Homo-oligomer: A and B are copies of this chain.
Amino acid sequence: MTQGRLKHFGWGREGEGLTAEEEAAALDRYPRLFKVEHFDEVTPPLLSEIELRRPRLAPPAALAPFCSSETYDRVAHTYGKSFSDYVRGLHGQYDNAPDVVAYPRNEAETAAVLDWAGSSQAALTPFGGGSSVVGGVEPQLDGTAYKAAITLDLRHLNRVLEIDRTSRAARIEAGIFGPALEAQLRPHELTLRHFPQSFEFSTLGGWIATRSGGHFASLYTHIDDFVESLRVVTPCGSLETRRLPGSGAGPSPDRLFIGSEGILGVITEAWMRLQDRPRFRAGGAVRFADFFTAARAVKAIAQAGLYPANCRILDPQEAHNTGAGDGTAAILVLAFECADHPLEAWMNRALECCAEHGGTPEQASSADGHREGAAGLWRNAFIRMPYARERLVRRAIIADTFETAITWERFETFHDKVKTATEAAIRDATGRPGQVTCRFTHVYPDGPAPYFTFHALGRHGDLLSQWRTIKNAASQALIAAGGTITHHHAVGRDHRPWYDKERPELFAGALRAAKGALDPQGLLNPGVLVDPCDSARRPA
């Protein structure tokens, strides 16, 4: 099977993207929303038109066979997939391109690249699928501390190495993409069932390093809970945690590396807890008068101990935008799934919780109901969404998302404050109203994870500062109202100012110290999560 290489600009592989029909549908409502008839369109440069600085270093002979300084490799590893990445890519700005991209084929080569980075005073950025929307993979170097930038792309570490059917676990290399992972598990009738929106173009190691949020809307929301043990290569050597179903031996070593965003080491392998493939399903969509009423029903479900696999509310506008509703009602996409037993009791009780809050089930409630109707429409839109962004940014349409979590007792006020602040910032930044919608991606007994989408019409040339005005206002509102700056998108560099307010300063000190112990030269992903300790930075 031959697959095209990943695009240097945009989502997915070369040749992939929205059909003309999908593009028209994605653009359809913007003229009405922004009251314009025409969009100025800018075309991103061809790869051959992009100019890069000459590489500041070259790999030693032993590493050269798996390293590249070709323009394609450097350009395709400059950015993730954030809005600001797209804007800069659109204008051919690749100042932060890495000098070398290394594609190690095993752990020894990975360690060799780390050694090389240390001896050449180069910053090193671990790179999975490059789907970061928070500036997590861009080598933003401060001018004095580093002589060059190396990006470590783990795509060749792409195998399921070992299966433990009895314990339902597998040892898996960290550079594997979602579809390949599931394909290698399928013959064993096992599945990880971790399906972030980036599933096709993100990796196991990336999910772990960023505390990715996945398929399950309740209970097993983050990848964290599926990690049984880890292998990590640090500049000071490799470590491996024990395969244990549970432990109380000191602070969890895994939990230090889960969410470490590449600053402590490079995750090369993990034993992951797996699921049997589901055989029983129950689900459907439920309509509610409004978003908050739906939220109260979801709270009841979340506190009932039912643990639905899917339990996502779309506010009326978001339901309309994604084709899941007509804009007059909030839609709850509800689904249970299980390999072991029928789910009528679970689904019936969840529907009772909905009914107690005036929720009305949609028709199609067959066993596969959650694939049809409002739920199915929303699901398709969800999967194709990332392809739309590269088409919108060309037209100066600022379409972006941000996500958070908050306890139930603060949720309604929180939602209104964040939405109002974001709407106001859109008007301030662009001079015209935009739109802010909300859904829940995950729910907990003590609160939801609200996910906001906003739409604004910017202006080429000012796009980045307009976006930043909106993003800053939204982030500021999230943090001021008590939320987290990210429920599952990670911190990267884009969220740093608000992360720095969210986490206790003393914890940051402890994390910096831990980084100092594992990465004493401060090579790994500088600027992500913490600044390198001063003492850890060599003079240039």
Measured CB to CB, the residues of A under 8 A from B are: 164-169, 210-213, 219, 221-222, 228, 234, 236-253, 255-261, 264, 273, 276, 299, 303-307, 338-341, 344-346, 349, 405-409, 442, 444-449, 482-491, 495, 499, 502-507, 509-514, 516-518, 529
Contact = CB atoms under 8 A, between A and B. Distances in A.
A305 B503 contact: no
How many copies of this protein are present in the complex?
A: 2
B276 A406 contact: no
21 contacts: A168-B303, A210-B248, A211-B247, A212-B248, A236-B509, A244-B406, A246-B447, A246-B487, A247-B405, A248-B259, A248-B484, A249-B503, A250-B511, A252-B255, A252-B259, A253-B503, A304-B340, A305-B341, A306-B341, A345-B345, A511-B514
Contacts of A529: 250
Given A244-B483, A260-B251, A261-B250, A303 B444 contact: no
A27 to B, nearest CB: 31
B340 A245 contact: no
A54 to B, nearest CB: 35
A442 B406 CA distance: 30
In the complex, the 10 A-B pairs of residues with the closest C-beta atoms, listed nearest first: A245-B447, A345-B345, A239-B504, A211-B248, A245-B444, A510-B514, A304-B340, A513-B517, A166-B409, A513-B513
A246 B444 contact: yes
A341 B353 CA distance: 11
Contacts of A246: 221-222, 405, 442, 444, 447, 449, 484, 487
A308 to B, nearest CB: 11
B518 A506 contact: yes
A243 B486 contact: no
B239 A488 contact: no
A250 B491 contact: yes
Given A255-B252, A264-B510, A305-B338, A484 B244 contact: yes
Contacts of A219: 219
A118 B486 CA distance: 37
Given A239-B506, A446-B169, A446-B273, A251 B255 contact: yes
A226 B264 CA distance: 27
A146 B94 CA distance: 56
Contact of A446 (B245, B258, B442): B245
Given A409-B166, A513-B516, A249 B495 contact: yes
A41 to B, nearest CB: 35
A506 B234 contact: yes
A162 to B, nearest CB: 11
* Most chain B CB within a 10 A radius of its CB, from A442, A445, A446: A446
Contact of A407 (B244, B306, B449): B244
Nearest to A278: B305
A513 to B, nearest CB: 4
Given A250-B260, A251-B258, A239 B448 contact: no
A244 B405 contact: yes
Contacts of A167: 407-409, 445-447
Give the residue among A164, A169, A243, A449 with the most B Cβ atoms within 10 A.
A243
Given A219-B219, A241-B504, A510-B518, 16 more contacts: A168-B303, A168-B446, A169-B407, A237-B506, A238-B506, A240-B504, A244-B407, A245-B448, A247-B405, A250-B491, A250-B529, A252-B258, A303-B340, A305-B339, A509-B517, A513-B516
Nearest to A479: B242
Most buried by B among A252, A273, A306, A485: A252
A256 B340 contact: no
Contacts of A307: 305, 307
A486 B253 contact: no
Nearest to A344: B345
A481 to B, nearest CB: 11
A491 B247 CA distance: 11
Contacts of A238: 506
Contacts of A504: 239-241, 253
Contact of A256 (B257, B273, B510): B510
A256 B507 contact: yes
A261 B248 CA distance: 10
A440 B245 CA distance: 13
B407 A249 contact: no
Contacts of A276: 303
Given A349-B340, A506-B239, A406 B245 contact: yes
